[in-house]
Structure 1
């Protein structure tokens, strides 16, 4: 049984708000920290509390943690704000936080020293240096199931655009499944099974080459993804095609893990749960 009773979520975007809703649905104490003027918290569920604070002010954030007797901090900040977690670590240290769940929720990052995901590994190392127990969760293929069309489906041609060969395995997981898993493990597992652990979950395993059939459209192989944010999409798609799209991938060994480090190895921690498929999420 978990010893964690109170939770704080930083970042109320697509994932953060879904996690908050999952906590609130179980009547668990949860406070959302947001910067002044943030509109992402306009529709917080009943029961969730809001603390407006400059999240770069470690002392102010620590005061919020103490006021709400927070046990676990969950960061869901977006990619461009990963470095901002440094002040959150300082605040967590000052407030004697029991567990910190950093903003991972993407490709496996342990051992990464370069590239767009390396900063996440650095945050985990900083938590270790600060002596704060950390739980890292890998859940998706660079995008949640809901966002697969954003990366792969061209809005104009209606074709699936693939960078590379499209044969690398991709771990895909729906937002509600991610949130449900996070809340489930934090509220059912003892702290010894959560502290300084890495969980790898996977709703459905697929390949980019399979998406054409799923979405009933043609596949086109490209070297660059055109259109808005095409440069970012191309970088993500390229890394996914290298193997990083699987939550079981190791950048150290450049291979798929097995056993406790396999892509879906943590699914067993939520026994009996039905993981949503790409077809279910998109009504295909």
Structure 2
């Protein structure tokens, strides 16, 4: 059984609140940390303390963590603020936190050096240098709209005017998709049941369902694949870069950026699903009622 008894979730966004709720549902002692001046979130479970603290003040954050005897910090900071986790790591070190779950939850970031994924690697290295054990969680591709992963619920973001536009390749490269309830439930499950030896300095790769762009178009019967050289509209530049990247493999949670190939065994897409035996992972059709 896990020795982790008390948790702090940092950030109350698309993934922070579901993780918070999942931990509370397991009767775990959990607090939500938010920045000063942040408006009160809806959907916070009854009895969960919401503590506003300056994330850049390591001493102040450490004081909160010590006061609540926090064993595990679960960060859900958005990708645009990924480097703001450095003082949180410092705070975890000061407070004697046993495990830090950095904000990833999307595309496998190992071996990346630029932009958000590069920042995630920087934080991973910083955790190691600080001597704070960590667990990195990958679940598939990254979406700039919500900054924490293109979960199954957000697949329609890829569509435009009834088209799923493919800029590179044939649309047959597999991509990992995981639903938000599956992701948050998994995080709460492993943190409250799995022995620390199976979590410390580990990378967990989830996959609710594996599908190519052609496969998505087949499931969403009102959507067709269109091969194009470019796309237009709001967020077109980012979407084009994402679509091009996914056409070469990085959308799989098992992708190894260093080898530019799929991982195997414990590094394979969905390999961490085994830590939640018996769980029925939601399919794309179930989430979207197809």
In the superposition, the TM-score normalised over structure 1's length comes to 0.95
Residue pairs, 1:138-157, within 5 angstroms = 138-142=138-142, 143-150=150-157, 152-154=158-160, 157=161
Compared CA separation, residues 267 and 88, structure 1 to 2 (3 A):
same
**Aligned-residue CA RMSD (Å):** 1.3
1:263 to 269, 279, 282: 269
Does residue 1:158 correspond to 2:162, yes or no? yes
Residue pairs, 1:20-35, within 5 angstroms = 20-35=20-35
CA distance in 2, matches of 1:277, 1:39: 34
Compared CA separation, residues 204 and 40, structure 1 to 2 (3 A):
farther
Name the SS for the 1:8 alignment partner. strand
Compared CA separation, residues 49 and 247, structure 1 to 2 (3 A):
same
Name the SS for the 1:244 alignment partner. coil
Residue pairs, 1:220-259, within 5 angstroms = 220-259=226-265
Q: Deviations over 1:154-213 (max 9, x none)?
A: 1xx222222322222101000000011111111111111110001111000001121211
- Structure-1 residue corresponding to 2:288: 282
Residue 114 of structure 1: how far off its partner (Å): 2.9
Compared CA separation, residues 4 and 207, structure 1 to 2 (3 A):
same
Aligned residues: 281
Gaps of 5+ in 2: 143-149
Compared CA separation, residues 40 and 164, structure 1 to 2 (3 A):
farther
Whether the 8 Å contact between 2:80 and 2:116 is mirrored in structure 1 is no
Does residue 1:137 correspond to 2:142, yes or no? no
Compared CA separation, residues 203 and 91, structure 1 to 2 (3 A):
same
Does residue 1:186 correspond to 2:185, yes or no? no
CA distance in 2, matches of 1:86, 1:6: 21
Residue pairs, 1:14-163, within 5 angstroms = 14-39=14-39, 41-142=41-142, 143-150=150-157, 152-154=158-160, 157-163=161-167
In the superposition, the TM-score normalised over structure 2's length comes to 0.93
Does residue 1:169 correspond to 2:187, yes or no? no
Whether the 8 Å contact between 1:34 and 1:41 is mirrored in structure 2 is no
Gaps of 5+ in 1: none
Residue pairs, 1:176-215, within 5 angstroms = 176-215=181-220
CA distance in 2, matches of 1:168, 1:122: 28
Whether the 8 Å contact between 2:82 and 2:116 is mirrored in structure 1 is no
CA distance in 2, matches of 1:40, 1:204: 34
